[in-house]
Structure 1
Amino acid sequence: MPFLDRLQHWAALQPDANAVTIGAERLSYAELRDRASMRARELVAQSSGGPTVLCRPNGLDFVVDFVAAVAGTGSVAVLDPGWPALQRSAVERMLRDAAASSPPDTPPAPADLRDGPPDSLFLYGFTSGTTALPKAFTRSRDSWQRAFSASSAWFDIGADDRVLAPGPLSASLTLYALAETLSAGAAFHTLPHFDVGDALDSVAHAAVTRIVAVPTALRLLGERGLSNAVDGSALTGIVSAGARLDGATLARVRTWAPRATVYDYYGAAELSFVTARRLDPGEHRTASPTAVGRPFPGVEVRVLDDAGQASAPGVTGTICVRSRLVSAGYAWGDDGSAFARVAGDHGGEWCTVGDQGHLDEAGELHFAGRRADMIVTSGHNVYPQEVEATLLSGLGVSPGSAVAQVVVTGVADARRGTLLVAAVLEEGSPDAPALTRSDLRTAAADLAAPKRPRGYYRLSELPLTGAGKISRRLLAAWITEGDPRVDRLD
């Protein structure tokens, strides 16, 4: 594992310091080292080759097994415990087949809770593909070691921090936060499952100094923290990732935790960090709603057109990156729609996941959308993230605004192929007037005609994945099936 040498260091220096707390359970650094060392020996004795498969809910056993599985030259495949049984079985079969087709040159050495060679693979992660079987990407130890060095400095994390990452450990955002926190010698906190009340209780009673979460979770924490008078003034850092940090969520978080530096970054599981932004206490953000920051330390970014040439400032193209933080590629599932080396780059250093965007004159990246999310309607390509950002901006995102979130998706339509629609979740004073279709149409006026939604809906809750991310596919299903959580605005 890329932080096991650091774990040994902290276990010797501060053996009784808190390493991991999950709900009511806790492990000190010495206890985590000792339990993981014992478990590593067991895994070596049980190994039949290939990565250790880890498919558990949040808990101390997950952490111990994760640390133990990647000791020395070991590797781990982290599966989502919420997957259907057939999907999990298919992935496990693929892992067995991959191990059988490329047996190691030498048998595994006796487990030692130390880092393996930098260029060796330690992690199999998974992202959605164009089929039911997730794509499996792999990472070398070196990619995370370099990422820890850059991220701990950028996000200013130290051994005195107490980091709350309330999402599932099977999600790459939370898993990386765990490893980054242990590498820094800080205390990591999470929950058996996400619960806003339990998360706020950790903030109030566990002296949490930092939160790492997706924007939807941060919005809930900020809103409930304010309404329940949970003091967030002790928070010094809030890190948002996994989706764009919208203005409404930012406003709520800044009101609840006024002393916190707010960080948000754009990236992908296969690419790691790409760009990032930092907002100090009292500092206001006036950038475009599509802006996602400047290149992360050690990362180069450029935007290419369809001919592979650099796009002019302001012109949308494919976002490409060059860094030492990217994954090693796919073990399987490479359908050509995601991670790839840039054609014509003979050094193979420039990579892309097909995301679209542009660089402005100042060198800041603007994110238009993921190619996989692109909606084709009446022959026009539309990125829902761009439409959502414009609608939010037009509706207003000041503190106390009735708008919490806008979600754009496509539903089947006989004439256009796909009909572009938008749904809004409203929160605020019960006395505030409800948004109308006219309000939303006015907010969409700044969009080009093909990008303006043709249908508008009101949500009673957000369509979310198990990791707390917006699911446009789920919203489309709700609309198609007449789900009561979504109502059409006439």
Structure 2
Amino acid sequence: MPFLDKLQRWAGQRPHDTAVVIAGRRLDWEQLRDAAKDEVAGTKSVTALCEANSVDFAVKFAAAVAGRRQCAVLDPAWPKSLQEDIVRRVEACADSASVSPDDGLADGPAVSTFLIGLTSGTTAVPKAFTRSRRSWQQSFDASIEFFGLRQDDVTLAPGPLAASLNLYALAECLYAGSEFHTLQTFDVGDVHAAITHDRVTRLVLVPTMLRMLSERGMTGCVDASGIRTIICAGSKLDARTLEAARRWAPNATIYEYYGASELSFVSGLGLSPGQEATAGGTGIGRPFPGVDVRILDDEGAPVPDGSYGNICVRSGMVGNGYLWGDDGEAMRCFGDWYTVGDQGYLADGELHILGRRADMILTAGRNVYPHEVELALAAVPGVSAAVAAGMTDELRGQRVVAGVVPSHGGISATQLRAGLEDILSRHKRPSQYYLLAELPTTDRGKVSRNLLLEWINARDPRVRALGA
């Protein structure tokens, strides 16, 4: 089961408590249950749900996974032609198990597929993978335990529900019987208003959002002392974002974790108020409850402790595989160990993540992972944020370049080089630095290394080469 049996339970026990508040509209547990029940009768065996954040989204999503039904959630920002292509593929590939209007609002068999997940994309067709009801139920149990989600929590996930981070947060709250909030679109002022007026205790978001909320929240004197949990995913928190979040939300435990849509949760850590973090560190905590982690080479053999290789996972939360888009590398298995190609290493039981193999920079025959460079740069005084990438070089194959957003005033390449001396090995240090007016990010708030290279090559006014 994912969450529908639990939804029925909360509607029976606490019918008039708030279940969801989306874009200013509120549904209590009874209203959400009844609206989803009414929707089920007209819901097909496979639904392609493509709409902006709203309470209607929550209702339709609940109905779309009732019984043996399956749901694919599409990003409404994708081009129309891409949406239509995905709908055709979903309807052609999905298991069309018979459903009946009389099924009601109940969870289907635990082993059955309920979600057709889609990797992010704007022009290329996203890969599609499937998840069973049992895999999400086990994920809920693990995340509720790890993050300490309580029924008296009020969760705000201000990003699009089409993104897996926010869709999971919605479903997790429905499973736990905990109040869920989101906005129609992300807006710093609206998030601050929700925190102030809606008793928000828990934030689920990506680091770039947290950075904006924290810095502008301190400037605008927005009280975030009532927030007790902040959960970040998408990339590891840099030192400046962590510092800003701690000052703005002094009572929050700040969690970051590593996972993938196909694998679910892998590892994570929670930093209590005042707890020190390693400057420029790549550690991302210990395995989640119910998860085993190993580092294996490309043949599936274990590597020595401290050596890097494929981060491989064994757990009941792993997805079923792909409907389309699998090139044999996207998700590999070695027996019952699965990997999506992320590289890392284990040290004293903690997982260190270096990044995707596809992001790796090969410079003069040596491997450099931009994620490690970015974390090191973010720990340098005067750096607000950083992004690194590999630029084509005739002599070395690639060379490491980095763009930085200064925290205040300006910063020189000499200062950056000096700041990295004790943090980063010489061969990993950038050969060229660029001053950025803003971080190159996707429409979902994730930093884009390819976009940095495009800006540099196009001499975009948002990027300027730094001299000594």
For 1:375, the equivalent position in structure 2 comes to 361
| Alignment pair present for 1:147 and 2:134 | no
For 2:205, the equivalent position in structure 1 comes to 213
String of CA shifts for 1:100-137, please: whole Å, max 9, x gaps.
Answer: xx543x45463311111000000011115899111101
Cα deviation, residue 266, structure 1: 0.8
Normalising by the residue count of structure 2, what TM-score does the alignment of the two structures yield? 0.95
Cα deviation, residue 392, structure 1: 2.3
- Residues 41 and 101, structure 2, Cα contact 8 Å, conserved in 1: no
Cα deviation, residue 427, structure 1: 2.7
For 2:88, the equivalent position in structure 1 comes to 93
Q: 366, 374, 377: which is aligned to 1:391?
A: 377
| Alignment pair present for 1:74 and 2:101 | no
For 2:19, the equivalent position in structure 1 comes to 19
For 1:399, the equivalent position in structure 2 comes to none
Q: Which residues in structure 2 correspond to 1:278-297 (within 5 Å)?
A: 278-286=270-278, 289-297=281-289
For 2:125, the equivalent position in structure 1 comes to 133
- Residues 337 and 372, structure 1, Cα contact 8 Å, conserved in 2: no
Cα deviation, residue 472, structure 1: 1.3
For 2:52, the equivalent position in structure 1 comes to 57
> In structure 1, what is the Cα distance between the partners aligned to 2:212 and 2:96?
47
String of CA shifts for 1:415-443, please: whole Å, max 9, x gaps.
Answer: 44444210011233xxx5x1101122223
| Alignment pair present for 1:314 and 2:309 | no
Give the secondary structure class of the aligned counterpart of 2:41: helix
- Residues 118 and 126, structure 2, Cα contact 8 Å, conserved in 1: yes
String of CA shifts for 1:432-490, please: whole Å, max 9, x gaps.
Answer: 5x110112222344544442222211111121122211111222222222222212112
- Residues 254 and 271, structure 2, Cα contact 8 Å, conserved in 1: yes
Cα-Cα RMSD: 1.9
> In structure 2, what is the Cα distance between the partners aligned to 1:289 and 1:437?
22
Aligned residues: 466
- Residues 167 and 468, structure 1, Cα contact 8 Å, conserved in 2: no
For 2:246, the equivalent position in structure 1 comes to 254
| Alignment pair present for 1:489 and 2:466 | yes
Cα deviation, residue 195, structure 1: 0.6
String of CA shifts for 1:247-304, please: whole Å, max 9, x gaps.
Answer: 2111111111111111111111111110010122232224761000001110001111
> In structure 1, what is the Cα distance between the partners aligned to 2:407 and 2:208?
13
For 2:166, the equivalent position in structure 1 comes to 174
| Equivalent position amino acid for 1:314 in 2 | G
- Residues 78 and 122, structure 2, Cα contact 8 Å, conserved in 1: no
> In structure 2, what is the Cα distance between the partners aligned to 1:330 and 1:121?
12
Moved more, 463-472 or 267-276: 463-472
Normalising by the residue count of structure 1, what TM-score does the alignment of the two structures yield? 0.91
Moved more, 369-378 or 134-143: 369-378
For 2:342, the equivalent position in structure 1 comes to 355
Moved more, 1-10 or 134-143: 1-10
> In structure 1, what is the Cα distance between the partners aligned to 2:303 and 2:280?
19
> In structure 1, what is the Cα distance between the partners aligned to 2:405 and 2:73?
33
| Alignment pair present for 1:437 and 2:413 | yes
For 1:5, the equivalent position in structure 2 comes to 5
Give the secondary structure class of the aligned counterpart of 1:245: coil
Moved more, 215-224 or 282-291: 282-291
| Equivalent position amino acid for 1:365 in 2 | L
Change (3 A) 1:131 1:226: closer
Give the secondary structure class of the aligned counterpart of 1:341: strand
- Residues 129 and 333, structure 1, Cα contact 8 Å, conserved in 2: no
- Residues 19 and 32, structure 1, Cα contact 8 Å, conserved in 2: yes
Change (3 A) 1:201 1:129: closer
Give the secondary structure class of the aligned counterpart of 1:291: coil
Cα deviation, residue 60, structure 1: 1.4
Q: 399, 403, 409: which is aligned to 1:423?
A: 403
> In structure 2, what is the Cα distance between the partners aligned to 1:85 and 1:375?
35
- Residues 21 and 190, structure 1, Cα contact 8 Å, conserved in 2: yes
> In structure 2, what is the Cα distance between the partners aligned to 1:388 and 1:455?
14
Change (3 A) 1:129 1:54: closer
- Residues 411 and 480, structure 1, Cα contact 8 Å, conserved in 2: no
Change (3 A) 1:472 1:281: same
> In structure 2, what is the Cα distance between the partners aligned to 1:214 and 1:165?
9
| Equivalent position amino acid for 2:22 in 1 | I
> In structure 2, what is the Cα distance between the partners aligned to 1:74 and 1:130?
27
Cα deviation, residue 375, structure 1: 2.5
| Equivalent position amino acid for 2:15 in 1 | P
Aligned-pair identity in percent equals 51
| Equivalent position amino acid for 2:92 in 1 | D
| Equivalent position amino acid for 1:283 in 2 | Q
Moved more, 264-273 or 442-451: 442-451
Cα deviation, residue 157, structure 1: 1.0
| Equivalent position amino acid for 1:126 in 2 | L
